[in-house]
Amino acid sequence: MYERRKTRLIHVGGVAVGGGSPISIQSMTTTKTDNVDETLIQVHALATQGADMVRVAVPHEGDAKALPIIAREGGVPIIADIHFSVRLAMMSIEAGVHGLRLNPGNMRNPKHIKEVADAAKERGIPIRIGVNAGSLDKKLVEKYGRPTAEALVESALYEISLLEEHGFRDIKVSVKHQNVPEMINAYRLLATQTDVPLHLGVTEAGTPKQGIVKSAIGLGTLLAEGIGDTIRVSLTADPVEEVKLGKQILKSLGLKEDGFDFVACPSCGRAELDVFALAGEVEARIEKMDLPPMQIAVMGCEVNGPGEARDADIGIAAGPGRGLLFSKGKQIGWVPHDRLVDALIEEAEKVAAEIRAASGDGAVTTGGVTVVKGAGRAGRKVDPIVPIGMGPPAG
């Protein structure tokens, strides 16, 4: 849907980043990395929720010593987050991590940059340069008066040059700012200056109340412009929430097809039942199901309800005492209110099985309608909308 910016392709373990690869989601553990058990539990939780790679902080030698087992048992590529220390960077590389986050500008000795670049190159480990408004070089802050978008980009380009002068090109870069317009401008500007894949993030976005909105706007704006190759949502919360939100941002933009897409009306004075309760119950049930990409709609009345329900893979439009169940554009029948959730779940299971079967041979017939793989909802025959009040009595 969006034309993606052309970037160079790198690999973090088995995950391709840039070069038109799917946009990957990452997060960072909040455990002490030297606590291997707790860290691995969190890494696995993040991976289960959809993290493509996970970063761990490596501030001390004990953390670096924990890396071999975490990198081996994590199940997803592990990125070591290093600041200043060439020794910890070298230990992390030796430990078998799949990526490093460090800023070579923090290493005062040019020999150290070469040492890390050579070792990472030999092992095929990429490096993310993480420029951050809060830790920007003082000289740049003085030059620009504050951490402006231009200052972040100047820092990023300088840091990239420090690695590239040693022939190291497996780089991704971030220019994070807690101010959303400044963050957007920084990435836009950087995108015009380099083909290095971009790691998007609004830094210190805060608690979910604010952070969800800031991240959705910051990341969403750039992604809709084709900018961004990998994302990290930063929330003052369980990092699992970061991954869920990252997935939701990508799904909302049509950049990731993963599981169900839930459509529910906000309810209003026309609602024929408690839409909040119905939507909540349906969401709770379908969250536990392993569904292929499909859209499920729950609508509260017969005004917009039948149209939306019909256009989804499965939908319910409520009427007085009963609701009309749709599946793949066909009216399945009227269902009493107290059976709506069960009927929808049963139909979801059926359609999910059909979608899976279709993914093998390209086409499937469901409810008398042939759905051609890849045709999407636009290629589907649908029933004409019948006003719910005109249907047969609820039964």
Cα–Cα distance, 216 to 209 (Å, whole number): 12
357 versus 386: smaller Cβ distance to ligand SF4: 386
Q: Measured from the CB of residue 204, what is the shortest distance to ligand SF4 in angstroms?
A: 36
Residue carrying structure tokens 């009216």: 331
Q: Measured from the CB of residue 328, what is the shortest distance to ligand SF4 in angstroms?
A: 20
Cα–Cα distance, 169 to 125 (Å, whole number): 10
For ligand SF4, the binding residues (CB under 6 A) are 265-268, 270-271, 299-301, 303-305
79 versus 299: smaller Cβ distance to ligand SF4: 299
Q: Measured from the CB of residue 381, what is the shortest distance to ligand SF4 in angstroms?
A: 24
Q: Measured from the CB of residue 297, what is the shortest distance to ligand SF4 in angstroms?
A: 10
Largest Cα span, the chain: 82
218 versus 315: smaller Cβ distance to ligand SF4: 315
CB 86 within 8 A of CB 104: no
77 versus 323: smaller Cβ distance to ligand SF4: 323
What are φ and ψ of residue 138, in 5° steps? -55, -35
Q: Measured from the CB of residue 384, what is the shortest distance to ligand SF4 in angstroms?
A: 19
Q: Measured from the CB of residue 270, what is the shortest distance to ligand SF4 in angstroms?
A: 4
Q: Measured from the CB of residue 264, what is the shortest distance to ligand SF4 in angstroms?
A: 9
Q: Measured from the CB of residue 307, what is the shortest distance to ligand SF4 in angstroms?
A: 9
H-type alpha helices, 107-263: 110-123, 138-144, 149-164, 180-191, 208-224, 239-252
74 versus 305: smaller Cβ distance to ligand SF4: 305
Q: How many CA atoms lie within 13 A of 204 on its CB side?
A: 7
b/e for 33-70, b at 16 or more Cβ within 10 A?
A: bbebeebbebbbbbbebbbbbbbbbbbeeebbebbbeb
197 versus 323: smaller Cβ distance to ligand SF4: 323
Residue partners of 342: CB distance under 8 A and separation at least 6: none
Q: Which helix (H) or strand (E) holds 370?
A: strand 369-372
297 versus 364: smaller Cβ distance to ligand SF4: 297
269 versus 374: smaller Cβ distance to ligand SF4: 269
- Tell me the angle at which helices 208-224 and 180-191 cross, rounded to the nearest 10 degrees: 30
Cα–Cα distance, 73 to 10 (Å, whole number): 23
Residue partners of 274: CB distance under 8 A and separation at least 6: none
Grouping H, G, I as helix, E, B as strand and the rest as coil, residue 199 is strand
